[in-house]
């Protein structure tokens, strides 16, 4: 794990400590877990997301990430197993599943238009890895393995329900974690202390 990622993980742990919340220790993912992602999805995770998963394979349904789509939201960090389930790994025909889901969005336009680094016409994409979420998928954080030509593989995007939209978050996981920590700090009362 590189120094920046380790620094941000330590900062995240300190943020939890600062509000007297335990930061649950979860065992890291194995190389076999990471290979299984590629075998099941065709998504070749690399870089800091892999390093982070090797430190902790999910957060036991704990909202350790924060994103700002239309409002600040704390999101769970999905284990590899949970992410694969949410991706659809148990579906017998994944291509038919994604096609059916995409067809339900035909004609829908995001307003305002989404960032040009995210593919414009896709509402579901089997090359988006759901690394985190909130409220049963009302907010979903994706590691994007299929960006628009102006984007970058490994960028982090987020889906937000009602109004349905995709937002660009960060060019890579370590930048995402840094931004997430800043949001947790800025909106500590709501996101960490849970005072609404």
- Is the residue at 85 inside a domain? yes
- Is the residue at 49 inside a domain? yes
Q: Which domain CATH number covers 50? A: 3.40.1580.10
- Is the residue at 134 inside a domain? yes
- Is the residue at 196 inside a domain? no
Report the domain count for the chain. 1
pLDDT grade for 195, boundaries at 50, 70 and 90 = low
Helical packing angle, 173-186 and 48-55, nearest 10°: 60
Range of the domain at 58: 3-191
- Is the residue at 41 inside a domain? yes
- Is the residue at 71 inside a domain? yes
Over residues 178-183, mean pLDDT: 98
- Is the residue at 37 inside a domain? yes
pTM: 0.96
Please give the residue that has the higher pLDDT: either 60 or 25: 25
Q: pLDDT of 121-172, one tens digit each?
A: 899 999 999 999 999 999 999 999 999 999 999 999 999 998 899 999 999 9
Q: pLDDT of 80-99, one tens digit each?
A: 999 999 999 999 999 999 99
Q: Which of 81, 86, 79, 89 is CA-nearest to residue 56?
A: 79
Q: pLDDT of 29-82, one tens digit each?
A: 999 999 999 999 999 999 999 999 999 999 977 899 999 988 899 999 999 999
């Amino acid at each position: 794990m590189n120094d920046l990622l380790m620094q941000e993980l330590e900062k995240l742990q300190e943020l939890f400590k600062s509000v007297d919340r335990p930061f649950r220790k979860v065992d890291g993912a194995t190389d076999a877990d990471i290979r299984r992602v590629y075998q099941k999805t065709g998504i070749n995770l690399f870089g800091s997301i892999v390093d982070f998963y090797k430190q902790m394979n999910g957060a036991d349904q704990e909202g350790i990430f924060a994103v700002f789509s239309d409002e600040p939201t704390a999101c769970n960090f999905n284990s590899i197993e949970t992410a694969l389930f949410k991706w659809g790994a148990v579906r017998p025909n994944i291509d038919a599943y994604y096609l059916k889901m995409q067809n339900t969005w035909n004609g829908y336009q995001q307003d305002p238009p989404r960032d040009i680094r995210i593919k414009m016409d896709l509402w579901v994409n089997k090359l988006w890895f759901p690394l985190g979420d909130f409220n049963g998928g009302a907010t979903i954080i994706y590691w994007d393995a299929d960006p628009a030509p102006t984007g970058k593989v490994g960028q982090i995007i987020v889906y937000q329900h009602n109004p349905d939209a995709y937002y660009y978050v960060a060019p890579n996981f370590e930048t995402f974690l840094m931004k997430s920590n800043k949001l947790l700090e800025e909106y500590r009362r709501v996101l960490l202390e849970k005072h609404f």
